[in-house]
Chain A
Amino acid sequence: MFNYTFHWNQALRALPQMLDGALVTLQVAVLSMVIGLACAIALTGFRLSGSRILSGIAAVWVEVARNTPALFQIYMAHFGLGNFGIHLSPYAALLAGIAFNNAGYLAENFRGALKAIPETQTRAGRSLGMNSLQAFRFIVLPQMLRVAYLPATNQMVWAILMTSLGVTVGMNTDLAGVTQELNARSFRTFEFFAIAAVIYYFIAKAVTLAARALAWRMFRY
Chain B
Amino acid sequence: MIEIENAHKSFGNLEVLKGINLNVEKGEVVTIIGGSGSGKSTLLTCINGLEPINAGRIRIDGTEVHAKTTDLNKLRQRVGIVFQQWNAFPHLTVLENVMLAPRKVLGLSRDKAEEIAVKQLTHVGLHEKLSVYPNRMSGGQQQRMAIARALAMSPEYMLFDEVTSALDPMLVGEVLDTLKMLAEEGMTMICVTHEMAFARDVSDRVAFFHQGVMAEIGAPDEIFGSPRKPETQEFLGSVR
Contact = CB atoms under 8 A, between A and B. Distances in A.
Q: Do A and B assemble together?
A: yes
Interface of A: 120-121, 123-131, 134, 138-139, 142-143, 146, 219-221
Nearest to A146: B91
Interface in B112-159: 133-135, 146, 149-150, 153
A138 B96 CA distance: 11
B104 to A, nearest CB: 6
B160 interface: no
A220 B104 contact: no
Interface in B64-105: 73-74, 76-77, 80-81, 83, 85, 87, 89-92, 100-101, 104-105
Given A120-B83, A126-B76, A129-B77, A221 B90 contact: yes
A88 to B, nearest CB: 41
B48 interface: yes
B175 to A, nearest CB: 17
B181 interface: no
B50 interface: yes
B138 to A, nearest CB: 16
Contact of B91 (A120, A127, A131, A142): A142
Contacts of A139: 89, 100
B133 A130 contact: no
19 contacts: A123-B50, A123-B87, A124-B87, A125-B101, A126-B50, A126-B73, A127-B76, A127-B81, A127-B150, A128-B100, A128-B149, A129-B77, A129-B105, A129-B106, A134-B104, A139-B89, A142-B91, A143-B90, A146-B91
A130 B103 CA distance: 11
A129 to B, nearest CB: 4
Interface string B10-31: 0000000000000000000000
A130 B104 contact: yes
Contacts of B101: 125, 128-130
A130 B91 contact: no
Contacts of A142: 91
Contact of B133 (A120, A127, A134, A220): A220
Interface residues of B, number: 27
Give the residue among A120, A124, A127, A138 with the most B Cβ atoms within 10 A.
A127
A219 B133 CA distance: 11
Contact of B87 (A120, A146, A219): A120
B73 A129 contact: yes
A127 B73 contact: no
A220 B135 CA distance: 11
Contact of B105 (A124, A134, A219, A220): A134
Contacts of A126: 50, 73, 76
B91 A143 contact: yes
B87 A121 contact: yes
A124 B48 CA distance: 12
A131 B76 CA distance: 10
A221 B77 contact: no
A221 to B, nearest CB: 4
A98 B77 CA distance: 47
A113 to B, nearest CB: 13
Contacts of B80: 127-128
A187 B89 CA distance: 60
A121 B81 CA distance: 13
Contacts of B73: 126, 129-131
A179 to B, nearest CB: 44
A220 B104 CA distance: 22
Contacts of A138: 100, 104
Given A123-B83, A128-B77, A130-B73, 9 more contacts: A123-B50, A123-B87, A127-B81, A128-B100, A129-B77, A129-B153, A139-B100, A219-B91, A221-B134
Nearest to A139: B89
Contact of A121 (B50, B89, B150, B153): B89
Nearest to A221: B133
